[in-house]
């Protein structure tokens, strides 16, 4: 029997794929202990969305989380994280010094292996980031990203077995050092036959290059219910390692369960070297740990639409969670449908973060604002070449629209070298920002600001919101709920019968400020029409990130009034006429709905 090694993804991709990565570290420590007790010695515990999410939603420091995890599992367990090439663990690409700092800090905080991928499969984006991982004495697992193409596409070379094997040849030609190779299908849409052909030929390429000791690992998701078949195909092609998860973070948008795969191997030449009963016990502990969290129903479903519009499991629930936050979940089927055109016209980059988010944002804009009326920042920069070379040539019409709307010219320059020229990026820029805000200048804080930007700054200032969604959230919305909105600030959001109010609580006996209570608007109807003045409305739902204008301020048409965040992209809401601001109807942190009045001028 051939014993197949596996990576347990429960504590990173499991969290990201099933509950949008919003989980408090202390809540799953008993499950980590149980996993170690069950003999699991290779775990994915960070990177990807599990770096940003602690700062964005959990009021936690991801570095503290890594330290606690390493302390819990002991020194011998192989702890792995996920990196996005020159984006490292953010949605934006970084300068060289931040890319190197990523590897240095993750090693410092207990990580032993980093899987490194680029969504465009541009070797330039893997070369420097991979060398940083390797040079910092971490296990560098280089990854080639896979995806099934939507039907009807004319150019079928991208995402064929030949395309993936050509990518491996380019990695070898660049003499990029790596310890293992992963084929990463984040959407679970690559077919078993393509996977088998890819792995088989890649094994031949590695062996011919004198790299017989380089193991091949396969990663996929069960969103389209093909994961077990794909793993069997990968093993038949010569893969040695597969990615699995534990209940309740397995199946659906996640990876197949360890026990499911163990069972599927019966009667074959393969097996997992596990104690079934110990894994069963560990899963029971894990289920108990996660029982208070809301498991979105879409995370546990088979979704055949994903084969037509590839959406990664790790992004699907993150997006649906954000759509729940902004009360637009009903738009999800339309957005997924709109992704088909967005993928083809955008150059067929692999639908994995950050490109999957660019696809979803553009599809969301096409649904909410009209097809191609608004080219989103990430998608536009991608088709213009600012993140690297796309596998196929983007639609010239879309490239033209992007250049016009973003005010940028197409480029073929190395994205990392472009970033090195940008004075707003890099260690020095983050140091200056920390000093300007009277915050400690540490390597960790520098990296947090670089990767998390304004939300990272809010965390460091103690103003990060708590966005964890618990199982009883839905029922509580009909009652009265108080949720703290900032770390010890005395500011609270109080929800009464579905209407939210922002309340600032001062010391006993202190006179309340005139603005101590202001109406917020998560569930409130839009403001009534003004008897005089021009109403400014939001074109799409989102969360108020910043209020730019002030009541009484004279403004001109085109001036920004507020900035909202919608599906991880910033959207300025601007005045459409000259005038004086009569009222601002929202506050920072409020949820706004499409067509809601946010100001009157």
The CATH number given to whatever domain includes residue 391 is 3.20.20.70
Mean pLDDT of 524-542: 64
pLDDT digits (tens, 9 = 90+) for 24-62: 999 999 999 999 999 999 999 999 999 999 999 999 999
Residue 358 clears pLDDT 50, i.e. is over it: yes
Same domain, 484 and 349: no
**Confidence (pLDDT) at 568:** 61
Same domain, 375 and 504: no
pLDDT digits (tens, 9 = 90+) for 183-223: 999 999 999 999 999 999 999 999 999 999 999 999 999 99
**Confidence (pLDDT) at 303:** 78
Same domain, 327 and 202: yes
Mean pLDDT of 542-562: 86
Same domain, 20 and 102: yes
Mean pLDDT of 284-290: 97
Residue 80 falls inside a structural domain = yes
Higher pLDDT, 325 or 230: 230
Domain end: 390, 406, 422, which one? 406
**Confidence (pLDDT) at 516:** 34
Q: Any alpha helices (H) in 290-423, and if so which ranges?
A: 313-325, 332-345, 355-369, 377-384, 396-406, 415-420
Residue 458 falls inside a structural domain = no
Per the structure, the complete domain to which residue 561 belongs is given by 535-600
Same domain, 486 and 564: no
Residue corresponding to tokens 């084929």: 183
Residue 68 clears pLDDT 70, i.e. is over it: yes
Domain end: 368, 387, 406, which one? 406
Bridge pairing between strands 517-519 and 542-547: unpaired
Domain end: 362, 390, 406, which one? 406
Residue 302 clears pLDDT 50, i.e. is over it: yes
pLDDT digits (tens, 9 = 90+) for 402-453: 999 999 999 999 999 999 999 999 999 999 999 999 999 999 999 999 999 9
- b/e burial code for range 51-71 (CB count within 10 A of at least 16 → b): bbbbbbbbbbbbbebbebbbe
**Strand, coil or helix: 485:** coil
Distance CA 115, CA 131 (A): 12
Ranking 80-94, 147-161, 271-285, 505-519 by mean pLDDT, the lowest is: 505-519
Longest dimension (CA), the chain: 80
Residue 588 clears pLDDT 50, i.e. is over it: yes
CB 481 within 8 A of CB 495: yes
Residue 300 clears pLDDT 80, i.e. is over it: yes
Torsion of CA 543, 548, 553, 555, to 10 degrees: -90
Whether this model's pTM surpasses 0.85 = no
pLDDT digits (tens, 9 = 90+) for 342-355: 998 999 999 888 89
**Residues of the chain above pLDDT 90, percent:** 65
Mean pLDDT of 125-149: 97
Same domain, 229 and 345: yes
Of residues 178, 155, 215, the one with CA closest to residue 3: 215
Of residues 357, 369, 401, 361, the one with CA closest to residue 383: 401
Mean pLDDT of 114-120: 97
Ranking 169-178, 275-284, 304-313 by mean pLDDT, the lowest is: 304-313
Same domain, 540 and 501: no
Same domain, 514 and 568: no
Residue 352 falls inside a structural domain = yes
Same domain, 43 and 101: yes
As given in the structure block, the two tokens for residue 105 are 């800090």
Q: What angle do CA 79, 84, 87 make, to 5 degrees?
A: 125
Residue corresponding to tokens 């965040």: 565
Mean pLDDT of 519-548: 64
Identify the band that residue 333 occupies on the pLDDT scale cut at 50, 70 and 90.
Answer: confident
Report the DSSP beta bridge partners of residue 504: 491
Residue 433 falls inside a structural domain = no
**Confidence (pLDDT) at 314:** 59
- Mean pLDDT taken over the chain: 88
Residue 494 clears pLDDT 50, i.e. is over it: no
Residue 215 falls inside a structural domain = yes
344 to each of 156, 160, 161, 442, 523, how far by Cα in Å?
Answer: 11, 15, 19, 43, 37
Identify the band that residue 571 occupies on the pLDDT scale cut at 50, 70 and 90.
Answer: confident
Distance CA 40, CA 282 (A): 10
Residue 459 falls inside a structural domain = no
Mean pLDDT of 116-134: 97
Same domain, 272 and 376: yes
Residue 464 falls inside a structural domain = no
What is the domain count for the chain?
Answer: 3
Bridge pairing between strands 216-219 and 241-244: parallel
Ranking 49-63, 139-153, 298-312, 342-356 by mean pLDDT, the lowest is: 298-312
Same domain, 513 and 386: no
Residues 6+ apart with CB under 8 A from 511: none
Bridge pairing between strands 5-8 and 480-484: unpaired
Is residue 516 classed exposed, middle or buried when 0-12, 13-18 and 19+ CB atoms within 10 A define those classes? Answer: middle
Same domain, 380 and 504: no
Residue 283 falls inside a structural domain = yes
**Confidence (pLDDT) at 474:** 53
């Amino acid at each position: 029997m051939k014993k197949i090694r596996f990576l347990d993804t429960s504590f990173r991709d499991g969290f990201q794929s099933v509950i949008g990565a919003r989980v408090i570290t202390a809540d799953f420590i008993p499950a980590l202990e149980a996993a170690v007790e069950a003999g699991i010695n290779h775990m994915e515990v960070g990177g990807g969305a599990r770096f940003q999410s602690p700062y964005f939603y959990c009021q936690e420091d991801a570095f503290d989380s890594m330290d606690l995890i390493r302390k819990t599992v002991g020194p011998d367990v192989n702890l792995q994280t996920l990196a996005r090439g020159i984006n490292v663990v953010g949605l934006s690409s970084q300068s060289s010094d931040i890319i190197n700092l990523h590897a240095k800090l993750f090693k410092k905080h207990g990580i032993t292996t980093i899987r490194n991928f680029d969504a465009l499969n541009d070797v330039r984006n893997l070369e420097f980031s991979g060398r940083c991982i390797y040079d910092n004495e971490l296990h560098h697992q280089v990854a080639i990203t896979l995806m099934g193409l939507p039907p009807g596409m004319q150019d079928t070379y991208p995402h064929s077995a030949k395309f993936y094997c050509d990518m491996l040849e380019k990695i070898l030609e660049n003499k990029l050092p790596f310890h293992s190779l992963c084929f990463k299908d984040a959407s679970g849409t690559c077919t078993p036959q393509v996977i088998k052909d890819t792995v088989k030929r890649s094994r031949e390429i590695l062996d011919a290059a004198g790299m017989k000791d380089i193991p091949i690992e396969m990663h996929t998701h069960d969103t389209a219910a093909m994961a077990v078949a794909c793993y069997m195909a990968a093993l038949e092609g010569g893969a040695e390692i597969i990615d699995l998860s534990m209940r309740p973070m397995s199946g659906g948008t996640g990876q197949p369960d360890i026990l499911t795969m163990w069972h599927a191997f019966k009667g074959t030449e393969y097996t997992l070297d596990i104690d079934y009963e110990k894994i069963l016990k560990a899963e029971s502990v894990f289920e108990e740990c996660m029982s208070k969290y809301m498991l979105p129903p879409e995370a546990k479903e088979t979704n055949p639409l994903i084969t037509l519009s590839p959406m990664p499991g790790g992004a699907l629930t993150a997006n649906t969670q954000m759509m729940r936050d902004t009360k637009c979940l009903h738009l999800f089927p339309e957005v997924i449908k709109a992704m088909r055109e967005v993928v083809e016209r955008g150059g067929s980059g692999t639908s994995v973060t950050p490109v999957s988010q660019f696809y979803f944002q553009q599809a969301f804009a096409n649904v909410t604002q009209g097809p191609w009326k608004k080219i989103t920042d990430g998608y536009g920069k991608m088709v213009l070449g600012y993140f690297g070379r796309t596998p196929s040539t983007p639609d010239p019409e879309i490239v033209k629209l992007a250049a016009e709307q973003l005010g940028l010219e197409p480029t073929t320059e190395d994205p990392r070298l472009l970033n090195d020229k940008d004075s707003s990026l890099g260690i020095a820029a983050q140091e200056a920002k920390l000093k300007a805000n009277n915050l400690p200048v540490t390597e960790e804080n520098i990296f947090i600001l670089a990767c998390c930007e304004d939300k990272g700054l809010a965390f460091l200032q103690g103003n990060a919101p708590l966005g964890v969604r618990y199982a009883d959230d839905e029922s509580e919305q009909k009652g009265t709920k108080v949720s703290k909105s900032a770390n010890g600030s005395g500011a609270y959001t109080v929800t009464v019968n579905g209407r939210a109010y922002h309340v600032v609580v001062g010391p006993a006996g202190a006179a309340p400020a005139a603005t101590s209570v202001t109406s917020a608007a998560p569930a409130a109807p839009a403001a009534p029409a003004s008897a005089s003045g021009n109403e400014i409305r939001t074109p799409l739902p989102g969360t108020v990130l910043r209020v730019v204008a002030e009541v009484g301020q004279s403004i001109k048409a085109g001036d920004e009034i507020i900035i909202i965040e919608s599906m991880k992209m910033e959207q300025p809401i601007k005045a459409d006429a000259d005038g004086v601001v009569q009222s601002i109807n929202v506050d920072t942190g409020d949820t706004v709905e499409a067509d809601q009045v946010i100001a009157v001028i």
